[in-house]
Structure 1
């Protein structure tokens, strides 16, 4: 019920369009009921008049029938336009809400979520919610409005027939949906879960298709996808079977209600308590009245799936809200970008029972260049994740000196932290936009002159001068129009524009040819002259430029010092950093 109310709140901005659609849908149902009832009375009256050889005024009922037919057609057309437009407006509202939620999630929540699962929530769960108004809320509102009006008119003719009709309406509109909702509630959770798992597995399969082919594991992975698909299809079959059974039961109830109504009316006609022509009118009146609730069973079949999809999306929203609360409680300070020193003291971190960092302590002074070296699994990536806030700090402290006053790094707001520490990852994402748009992600208000200066310092001037469109050059999806070395230097240009107090570099020269490597190193030297630098690298050329080197093994600091001193004192360090 909570998720249902939260969905109603999402509808609030577009309530006028939704209420108008409800009004038009109600008019359509009432016009159809009236049309069928009056048509039955008119045909029976004409037949009776013909048999009796008397004349009757057929202009008025014929005009009424034509009027109701026009109203039904016009209101149905208008209702389709309005309700579908309201559905699209609601869908837009939900999509914006979900994107806004994702943008507010902290790094930990994003890192702990599978990207395929987030995509599934963005697409599948959001698409499931587009049924909320049109297939669920609208039938409920139409039933609430039209049933009392229909019962009022029917009881004016015969209370017994109205009671019979009302009983059938309650069975179709209340009892049957309630039973279906209770039955399908567990299945809907499993269906949503299997849908998410299937999409995640398919995404992983497509992403890792090369590796699957290399290791001849495609059939195994495809079998796994087939099993999930079969389980998902079984859940769909259960829902569709329930839908088919519901349609059959609804039709049976409608026919029984009409039959019982006829049985009730016939004795009244026989005793002349009711006119014979009213038998046809009331019979068709009963038949048409069920149109007001025939969509309710289907609505309650869809409702559990919609609520489960909503629950997954609202879970993200609650996480974002908690992150915002925590973020609002953190400090927003202006850290001195030229005089901030980073001090790590007694840092411990572990994944389950496995220790990643064990009592790590060192200092990165202002304008100092420090490198971290170590074999795979030594804790380098974990350390970077702690510095950038990607992982929460478990034990120890990371502080910044701000003109002599220590500031806990994890007490800073996300915006302040981003201004203080910037990370240049080995895999840097280039957005499908222009060169200027990519640069302005780092500095939204950067001028043309500032962007060109940053590109020049990043050793991109020759490449930039050859671009016909200049800063308006599109870089392509994932930066496909630039080389790997150019992509790294664009990232360096972004770092120059942002001018953080501390820059973290993750294997900045890894995977580059010698020419690209030299260009990237020259560009990094420009950055290093302006900020404090902490870099993960095993490149001897970079290590020689460092003021201090932290050597990690098994999460512990083995040694630290200058590159040349470590080379002369530790044979293992030589094998770790020497490239043949």
Structure 2
């Protein structure tokens, strides 16, 4: 119940849309019941009048029938229009809400989750929450209000008929839905879990297809996906079977209510206390009234799946960020030197420290290169400089202020990263550039791309800067994508620049052109570059060689390049 209450609080900004949609559904229900009941009364009354040879006023019931038909059509259209508008607004708000909680968790906390699992939560689990409004809240509200109005009408004729109808409505609208929820809760939760596992497996299969083929595991992955698909289909068939049983139970309640009404009402007709046309009207009225409770069993059956999706989202939202934001405002440094003293850090659950006693001073405008194999702690240092993690010991100071005093977003206005893993969104090249500076003019975009040596290539494309980059920049080469990333970094104009293996995996010609672009980007900035290779670092004021979180050697580029591997391993930090 607490999960439903928590969701209702999230829905609160759109409560007016939600209530308006429920009102449209209630009007549609009443119009449909009135249409059927008046039609039954009118046909029977015309037959009785005709057999008796008497005249009757058929204008009023005909007008009611026509009005009910029009109102039902308009109400159904309004219900669909308003509930869909409310649902789309809710989904948009839920995605923003979820992303606003997701962003502070990156990357430290989100490393516990698979990318396919996160994608499933963002898309499928959020989508699953719309059923709470459309298929649970609206039907429950309409059934409650509609049943009260319908029973009030029956009380005008006979209290026993009203009580019997109430009993069967409660049976169909409360007992059957609760039974349906009990049946559907476990399969619904298994469906939510299996759907997430299936999406994760599909993402694994697509992203790691090359590795799967190299190691001969592609067939095993395909069998795993097939097994998950079969499990999902089995659970869906089980739910469909339960749905059929539940709808049959509602139909049984409606027919039992009808027969009981006839059993009670026929003696009233015989005694003259009820006119024959009113018997037909009450019979059709009773059958039509069960339209109010008919959606409830399916709604409660799917409630288990909806709540399972909600709990998966809440598990992310309730996670604590690895880095706590400071209470006060961020400092505003007037210089951009870096001072790192006795820095130590270990990843959770890992005994070996990723950094152990690192100290480094980089003056404003200074250039430092850090050389080391994978796992030596280079990327960990960047993660700490960007405040993605908090050091276990030691300090990092930017412009004389401890890094812990900076709020994450404020810090990243001063520090920008050019990574070997350049990410371009499925947008135009222009839109990918504007991420760094949304208000940048076309002239400023062009200037940044010229410095990054990518403007001529973009200008030569048929659509120029409006050319679509494709998913993850698939329509561009690696060198082109990284030069766009450099142009994006230029647009940010941050005073501190972190370069994470920006030339990794590029051919010699592209690497040389990219380094020329980086040289322009580094002008006047405080720069730290991490790389595997201690060559081509003449531009660096200082070079550090790292291994297993420690500094093995430091000096200028000529000293490092001339040292042997044994000398480096024997060096001191």
Q: Does TM-score exceed 0.5, indicating one fold?
A: yes
In the TM superposition, what is the alpha-carbon distance from 1:273 to its structure 2 partner? 4.3
Instruction: Report if aligned partners of 2:98, 2:313 keep a CA contact under 8 Å in 1.
Output: yes
CA distance in 2, matches of 1:93, 1:318: 18
The Cα shift of 1:472 comes to 5.2
Is residue 334 of structure 2 the alignment partner of residue 340 of structure 1?
A: no
- Partner of residue 172, structure 1: 172
Q: Could you tell me how far apart the structure 2 residues matched to 1:521 and 1:75 are? A: 66
CA distances 1:162-195 after superposition (whole Å, capped 9, x unpaired) = 1000001111111221232244334333321211
Name the CA shift for 1:65/1:120 in 2 (closer, same or farther; >3 Å): same
C-alpha distance in 2 between matches for 1:39 and 1:469: 64
Match of 2:150 in 1: 150
Aligned partner of 1:329 in structure 2 is: 327
The correspondence of residues 199-210 of structure 1 with structure 2, limited to 5 A, is 199-210=199-210
Of 500, 511, 520, 1:526 maps to: 520
Alignment of 1:329-368 (within 5 A): 329=327, 331-336=329-334, 338-366=335-363, 367-368=365-366
**Residue 32 of structure 2: aligned partner:** 32
Q: 1:401 Cα shift?
A: 4.7
1:379 aligned residue: 377
Aligned counterpart, 1:263: 263
Query: Does residue 297 in structure 1 map to residue 271 in structure 2?
Result: no
Q: Deviations over 1:71-124 (max 9, x none)?
A: 333333333333333333333433444444445554324444322222212321
Q: 1:353 to 1:541 in 2, by over 3 A?
A: closer
3-state SS in 2 of match to 1:240: helix
Q: Is the 8 A contact 1:184 1:301 kept in 2?
A: yes
Match of 2:216, SS state, is coil
User: Structure 1 residue 61 and structure 2 residue 61: aligned?
Assistant: yes
Specify the SS of the correspondent of 2:504: coil
Please list the CA deviations of residues 245-299 of structure 1 after superposition, one character each: whole Å capped at 9, or x if unmatched. 1101111111111112222223333444444443333222222221111111122
Distance 2:274 2:141 in 1: 34
2:550 is the alignment partner of 1:556: yes
Question: 2 CA distance for matches of 1:465 and 1:30?
Answer: 63
Change (3 A) 1:190 1:241: same
- Name the SS for the 1:427 alignment partner: coil
1:147 Cα offset (Å): 1.1
Tell me how far 1:154 sits from its aligned partner. Answer: 0.3
Supply the distance in 1 between the matched residues of 2:42 and 2:105 (Cα, whole angstroms): 65
Q: Alpha-carbon deviation of 1:221?
A: 0.2
Change (3 A) 1:260 1:207: same
Q: What is the deviation of 1:234?
A: 2.8
Relative distance call for 1:93 and 1:351 in structure 2 (3 A) is closer
Superposed, 1:465-476 pairs within 5 Å as 475-476=469-470
1:502 equivalent to 2:499? Answer: no
The 1:512–1:69 alpha-carbon spacing in structure 2 relative to 1, beyond 3 Å, is closer
The Cα shift of 1:488 comes to: 2.6
Matching residue of 2:283: 283
Q: Which residue of 2 aligns with 1:399?
A: 396
CA 1:167–1:542 in structure 2 vs 1: closer, same or farther (change >3 Å)? same
Question: Aligned to 1:541, what secondary structure does the other structure show?
Answer: coil
Count of matched residue positions in the alignment of Structure 1 and Structure 2 = 569
**1:400-425 deviation digits (Å, cap 9, x = unpaired):** 152xx4x2223311122212322211
Distance in 2 (alpha carbons) for counterparts of 1:73 and 1:508: 62
RMSD over aligned Cα atoms: 3.1
1:127–1:571 Cα change, 3 Å: closer
Provide the rounded CA distance (Å) in 1 between the counterparts of 2:268 and 2:207: 74
Matched, 1:493 2:487: yes
Q: Look up the match of 1:440.
A: 434
| Residue 511 of structure 1, aligned match among 489, 505, 515 | 505
Find the aligned partners of 2:439 and 2:265 in 1 and give their Cα distance.
Answer: 80
Cα-to-partner distance string for 1:317-363 (whole Å, 9 max, x where unaligned): 445xx659943626412123x44123141413144243142523221
Question: Is contact 1:364–1:534 with CA below 8 Å preserved after alignment?
Answer: no
Q: Matched residues in 1 for 2:343 and 2:81: separation?
A: 65
Q: TM-score, normalised by structure 2?
A: 0.89
Output the TM-score relative to the length of structure 1: 0.88
- Equivalent-residue separation in structure 2 for 1:428 and 1:411 (angstroms): 29
How far residue 9 of structure 1 moved from its aligned partner, in angstroms, is: 4.0
| Map of 1:535 onto structure 2 | 529
Counterpart CA distance in 2 for 1:144 and 1:118 is 38
Give the one of 383, 407, 410 matched to 2:404.
410
Deviation at residue 438 of structure 1 after TM alignment: 3.4
Structure 1 residues 172-251: aligned runs within 5 Å: 172-251=172-251
- How many Å separate the matches in 2 of 1:330 and 1:107? 23
CA 1:471–1:54 in 2, change beyond 3 Å: closer, same or farther? closer
In 2, the alpha carbon distance for the partners of 1:257 and 1:461 equals: 77
Q: Are the structure 2 counterparts of residues 19 and 551 from structure 1 closer, same or farther at C-alpha, using a change threshold of 3 Å?
A: same
CA shift at 1:450, angstroms?
4.5
SS at match of 2:517: helix
The 3-state SS of whatever aligns with 1:422 is: strand
Structure 1: distance between partners of 2:514 and 2:68? 77
- Residue aligning to 1:565: 559
SS at the partner of 2:502?
Answer: coil
Deviation at 1:33, TM superposition (A): 1.9
For the residue of structure 2 that corresponds to 1:372, the secondary structure is strand
Please state how far the C-alpha of 1:482 moved relative to its aligned partner. 4.0
